[in-house]
Chain A
Amino acid sequence: MKIRTIKYLLKEGISNTYKNLLMSLASLAMVISSLLIFGVFLMITINLFYNYNRLESQFEIVVILETDATSFEASDIEQKIISDERVFSYKRVSKEEAFSEMKEMLEDSELITGLTPEFLYESFRIHLKDADQSEAFVEELSVMPGIKEMEFPRELLEKLGVFFRWMNVGSMFVLTLLLIISVSIISNTIKLTVYARRREIGIMKYIGANDWFIRWPFIIEGMVIGLVGAVISFILTSYGYNAIESYVNRELISGSLEVLRVKSLDNISARLLLLYVIIGTVMGAIGSIISVRKHLNV
C-alpha cells in the first residue's frame, strides 16, 4: 500500500467518524460503559493484590539462637542473612533488647522480678521480599550451627498462597470475560453503523475497491472511537476512584485500623491510561473488522 493511500484512508476514517456522528456517539457510549465496568473489576483486582502483598510483607521469620551460641556463630548467621537476595529487611534483637521488650509487655509486673537478660535468647527478625519463599529460606538457614528454632506462620502462608493463586486465576478469567463481552457489544453497535452503510460498501466494491481499502476506514473509525472512549473512561474512573480512595483511607481507616487499604493510583496512572488506550483501540479495531466482514462478500 502506498503512503498516500494510507494517508487517504486515515483521513477517510476520521472524517467518517464525525460524518456519522450519531452512530459514533452510540459506539462511544458502548466503549465507555464497557471500559467503566472493566475498570471497576480491574480496580478491585488491583486492590486485592495490593492488600495481599501488604499483608504478606508483614509476616516475619523469627530465628532464635541458642542461649550459648557464640558470637562467631551469631555473626555467621547474620552474614548469611545479609547476603541472601530474598531478604527484604532484618533486625537483630539482642538479649538486652528482648529483655526490655518483655519488660514493657509485662508492664514491670512481678513475673519479671529476678529475670535477667541472660535467661533470654538472641534472635533475628527477618522480612522476605516474597513471603512464599519462607519455607525454602528456613530450610537453608537451618543447617547453620547455633540456631535453637525458627518460627514463621507456615499454615497461614499456605492458605494465603492458595487463596492468592485462585484470586489470580479468577480475576484473569473475569477480566478476559469482560473484554470478550465488551468486544461483542461494541462490534454489535458498530455492526449497526456498518449496516446503515452497507450500500456504501457495495458501491465501493463495484468501483473495484479491494477489501482492505474498504475495511481500513472502518477500522480507523473504530480505533478513534475506542481511543476517545478510553480516555474518557480513564478520566471518569480515576476521578471516581480517587474520591473513594481518599474517603476510605482518610475517613474510614484513620491510622490505627490498617488491615485493609485502598491503593493510591498516583504511581500507576500512566500505565493504567496506556492500558485503557490499548484496550480501547484494539477493541474498536476488532469490533470493526468483525462487523465489516459480512458485508464484504458482494
Chain B
Amino acid sequence: MIEFINVTKRYNNGVIGLNDASFRIEKGEFVFVVGPSGSGKSTLLKLILHEEVPTEGEVYVNGFNIGQMHRREIPYLRRGLGVVFQDFRLLPNKTVYENVSYAMQVVEAQPRDIRRQVPVALALVGLSKKAKAYPDQLSGGEQQRVALARALVNSPAVLLADEPTGNLDPHTSWEIMKLFDEINQRGTTVVVATHEKNIVDDMKKRVISLEYGQIIHDVQKGNYINED
C-alpha cells in the first residue's frame, strides 16, 4: 500500500527533511507519525502526496512510484488519497455541501452518486444539519469534520492527516480522532501525523517516531515516547 525504501528528502536549501527512512504500511493499518517540531512528519506525508519528491530512495503509494511519476498522473494518485490538514483548507466560497460534492465533481462522478454519497459522508461526520452553511459560519471542529467528509466522500484507500487536531481543543480533538478510528474500522488505511501525546498513548496504534528526519522507533500498539 505505502512503502518507503531508504528515503532521504533534502530540500533545496540543504536542510534534511527525512533521512534514510524505510517502512511499509499495509492496507487497513492505523499509523501515528510522531516526533518533535521539525522532525520530518509533514515531509513524510508530503512525499506520499507527491507534494515533494524523494532525493534518494523510493516511495510507492497505491502502485505509483512517487519519484518517477508524470505530472499528468498526480491527480490520479491524489484521488486515491483523502487528505486532512491542520488548517482545514476548505473552499471559502462554497457551502459545506458544495465543498464535499466538489471532490466528487473533480472525479466526474455521476450526479446521482453525488446526491447519494455526499449526505452519507456528512452524516458520518455528524454535519448533516450544516450542509448549507459556509465554512466561516462553522467552528474549527466542524470545519475539520467537513474536511474529513470531503476526504472520505470518494472512499479513498488511504486517509492522510497532518496534525488534524492542531487547532482544536482537547475534547474536539478526541472526537475527531474517534472518527478516524471509525473510518479505519471500515477498512480505510489511516496515517496521522500528530503531537497529541495523550491520544496516541490511549489509542494503542502503530507509532512511527521521528527525530531529525530519522525513524527512531516503529512500534505496533505503541506510545508517544517508547522507552523500551
Contact = CB atoms under 8 A, between A and B. Distances in A.
Nearest to B51: A298
Interface in B1-41: none
Given A2-B108, A19-B93, A213-B106, A208 B78 contact: yes
Given A4-B111, A298-B51, A207 B106 contact: yes
Given A4-B111, A19-B93, A207 B150 contact: yes
A19 B102 CA distance: 16
Interface stretch (A159-167, A197-205, A285-293): A197-205
A217 to B, nearest CB: 11
Contacts of A200: 91-93
Contacts of A207: 78-79, 102-103, 106, 150
Given A4-B111, A19-B93, A203-B89, A209 B106 contact: yes
Interface residues of A, number: 21
Contacts of B108: 1-2, 4-5
B107 interface: yes
B106 A208 contact: yes
A199 B91 CA distance: 9
Contacts of B90: 203
B207 to A, nearest CB: 25
Given A4-B111, A8-B105, A298-B51, A208 B79 contact: yes
A16 B78 contact: no
B105 A206 contact: no
Given A19-B93, A199-B89, A200-B91, A206 B106 contact: no
Nearest to B111: A4
A116 interface: no
Nearest to A203: B89
B96 to A, nearest CB: 14
A298 B90 CA distance: 17
Interface in A1-30: 1-2, 4-5, 8, 16, 19-20
B83 interface: yes
A209 B91 contact: no
A142 interface: no
Contacts of A4: 108, 111
Nearest to B79: A208
Nearest to B85: A206
B75 interface: yes
Contacts of B105: 5, 8
Interface of B: 49, 51, 72, 74-79, 81, 83, 89-93, 102-103, 105-108, 111, 150
11 contacts: A2-B108, A4-B108, A8-B105, A204-B106, A206-B89, A207-B106, A207-B150, A208-B106, A208-B107, A210-B75, A298-B51
Interface of A: 1-2, 4-5, 8, 16, 19-20, 199-200, 202-210, 213, 298
Given A200-B91, A204-B106, 6 more contacts: A4-B108, A203-B90, A207-B103, A208-B107, A209-B106, A210-B72
CB-based closest 5 A-B pairs:
A208-B79, A208-B78, A210-B75, A209-B106, A208-B75
